[in-house]
Chains A and B, each alone.
Chain A
Amino acid sequence: MLRFEKVSKIYPGDFLALEDINLVIKKGEFVSVVGHSGSGKSTLLKLVYAEEHPTNGHVYFNDRPLDEINRKHLPYYRRNIGTVFQDFKLLPQKTAYENVAYALEVSDGTEEEIKELVPEILDIVGMGNKMEKYPRQLSGGEQQKVCLARALVRKPLIIIADEPTGNLDPTSTWEIVQLLLKINEMGTTVLLASHNKSIVDKLNLRVVELERGKIIRDNAKGKYEHKM
């Protein structure tokens, strides 16, 4: 489903963020990307949702090279992808319900779909009773659940989660991870960037480790730290 071929990314100022990345992610996989801050995790994820383009090499989504998507079609491509971030990125002037509905509105969902799907998905993430709250009235964990709901509502093929638990307490963290697992079980590919050791260890799923922009490890059932 996702394929990186000899991908490098150099930011202005000759900063090498990624170097010669070759990576294949299959449909339905749950992949954790680990590494120190600045190791290139976020850049790797940005390449997937086409916020950045590789300096060299190509990223393919279902065999389609992403750098060939023109800007006009980019929004349509992004509708295949659900994104979740450390800083939530909810629209502050909208309620939980409206934030989730927005994702459907911009992708031309009908009013009926919105009325049916949004409460359903908010129920799934456990926010059914707080639909009318604004982000500022919600805790970090609750906001992240709304983000997950927004990412899920369009039934994306893949969920990109960039440090989704970075700002959360342990209980919320575990709730979010459980939700991601549940999503994955339903068939959605999950790409998770994290430097939370306990999560990655407990998941015991595929781990890709980055260091200074290079893949130094790719284990089918890995732990956060590579033990010799």
Chain B
Amino acid sequence: MKFTKLKRTFKEGLDNFYRNGWLSFATVSVLAISLYIISVTIILGVTANIVLRNIQDKINVSVYFNSDVAESRILEIKDKLVGYQEIRSIDYVSKDQALEQFKKLGGNNPSISQALDELGDNPLLSALVIKAKTPDQYDIIAKAIGSSSFSSDISRIDFEENKTAIQRLTSIIKIVEQVGLTLGIVFVFIGILITFNAIRLTMYAHKQEFEIMRLVGASNIYIRMPFVFEGIFYGASSALIVLVALYATSRFLSPITQGSISGGDIVSFYFGHFFTIFGSLILSGVLLGTFSGIIAIRRYLKS
């Protein structure tokens, strides 16, 4: 019996969905637009975050040691620094490695290799490359190292040189995060409101039918279920539309994002997370549709 009920109300919902034609089209469009706005906001937020993380990853502070400090002493200092909770990673770059990197950067430029040959001795210094957990901690780390017991071994710390750049980046990251979060919340809120209103109007159009159904002897469940299913259809079909729209958007944005996301551009991000995006779209579409429907219909079922 339960199964028959479910089958019948499902069919009712489906019939309502396609027989309502324009009304369904309008509802799905509104739902799709809100879902699109919400997901673009979220995806932009996630992308911006990844891009910023990548940039953050490239920031570091190098501590250069005097040329007479032995490698063992440097490694000893490295071990001490590992204990700092602000430090995420420390890499030791010896003189020779530094020279190699330098040569690589210079490429096959003959004048650079000639100049190096003329110097004879390796002019570069050994260094510890330090990455902090968050960009605003570089200041603390640099100060701590500058005033430490081994400060006499240090030739220079390049933090001072990069200080303004790092600080500017830090504040940009903070602003982007805050603005993104605020905008995200606002858009999600607007999206929910729009959807709720659209579904409420749809239900209002059905208002007289609720009365008829009650008079014919339909129980509240029997009246409500088809509209729940209708809400599910609205949600699912708008999710599918948004899925296509998002793909188009990411294609459009892909030249801008090329290279800034690890592993390619935004299109590959889209496909890389296809099932997450697909799942959350369907889920949020269906939830939005269903709950708006249930809340909207409740007032007409009070007898």
Taking the complex as formed, is B219 at the interface, i.e. its CB lies under 8 A from any CB of chain A? yes
With the chains together, A93 CA to B208 CA distance in Å? 12
Establish whether residues A51 and B213, one from each chain, have CB atoms under 8 Å apart when the complex forms.
Answer: no
Contact with B along A79-96 (1 / 0, CB 8 A): 100010000011111100
Given contacts A93-B15, A93-B19, A108-B4, contact A103 B216 (CB under 8 A): yes
Establish whether residues A91 and B217, one from each chain, have CB atoms under 8 Å apart when the complex forms.
Answer: no
Given contacts A89-B212, A91-B212, A108-B4, contact A78 B217 (CB under 8 A): yes
Chain A residues, CB < 8 A from B213: 91, 102, 106
Contact with A along B202-215 (1 / 0, CB 8 A): 00000011011111
Report how many residues on chain B are interfacial, defined by Cβ distance under 8 Å. 22
Interface residues of B in 277-303 (CB under 8 A from A): 303
Establish whether residues A106 and B215, one from each chain, have CB atoms under 8 Å apart when the complex forms.
Answer: no
Chain B residues, CB < 8 A from A93: 15-16, 19-20, 209
Chain B residues, CB < 8 A from A201: none
Taking the complex as formed, is B256 at the interface, i.e. its CB lies under 8 A from any CB of chain A? no
Chain A residues, CB < 8 A from B15: 93-94
Q: Tell which of A92, A107, A110 touches B217, judged by Cβ atoms closer than 8 Å.
A: A107
Chain B residues, CB < 8 A from A49: 215
Chain A residues, CB < 8 A from B8: 105
With the chains together, A105 CA to B219 CA distance in Å? 11
Establish whether residues A150 and B216, one from each chain, have CB atoms under 8 Å apart when the complex forms.
Answer: yes
With the chains together, A12 CA to B19 CA distance in Å? 39
With the chains together, A105 CA to B15 CA distance in Å? 15
Q: Which of A78, A90, A91, A106 has the most CB of B within 10 A?
A: A106
B287 CB to nearest A CB, Å: 26
Establish whether residues A108 and B1, one from each chain, have CB atoms under 8 Å apart when the complex forms.
Answer: yes
Taking the complex as formed, is A76 at the interface, i.e. its CB lies under 8 A from any CB of chain B? yes
With the chains together, A89 CA to B211 CA distance in Å? 9
Establish whether residues B212 and A90, one from each chain, have CB atoms under 8 Å apart when the complex forms.
Answer: yes
Interface residues of A in 174-189 (CB under 8 A from B): none
B228 CB to nearest A CB, Å: 16
A101 CB to nearest B CB, Å: 10
With the chains together, A75 CA to B219 CA distance in Å? 5
B234 CB to nearest A CB, Å: 16
Chain B residues, CB < 8 A from A92: 209
Contact with A along B132-160 (1 / 0, CB 8 A): 00000000000000000000000000000
With the chains together, A89 CA to B207 CA distance in Å? 12
Taking the complex as formed, is B269 at the interface, i.e. its CB lies under 8 A from any CB of chain A? no
Contact with A along B1-14 (1 / 0, CB 8 A): 10011001000000
Closest to B9 in A: A105
Closest to A98 in B: B15
With the chains together, A154 CA to B212 CA distance in Å? 16
Q: Tell which of B4, B16, B215 touches A83, judged by Cβ atoms closer than 8 Å.
A: B215
Contact with A along B229-258 (1 / 0, CB 8 A): 000000000000000000000000000000
Taking the complex as formed, is B46 at the interface, i.e. its CB lies under 8 A from any CB of chain A? no
Q: Tell which of B5, B211, B303 touches A74, judged by Cβ atoms closer than 8 Å.
A: B303
**A contact set with B: CB distance below 8 Å:** 49, 51, 71-72, 74-76, 78-79, 83, 89-94, 102-103, 105-108, 110-111, 150, 154
Q: Can you list 21 residue pairs at the A/B interface with Cβ under 8 Å?
A: A49-B215, A75-B214, A75-B217, A75-B220, A75-B222, A76-B217, A76-B219, A78-B217, A89-B211, A91-B209, A91-B213, A93-B15, A93-B16, A93-B20, A93-B209, A94-B15, A102-B213, A106-B217, A106-B219, A106-B222, A108-B1
Across the A-B interface, give the 10 residue pairs with the lowest CB-CB distance, nearest first.
Answer: A106-B218, A78-B217, A75-B219, A79-B217, A93-B19, A89-B212, A75-B217, A106-B222, A103-B216, A105-B8
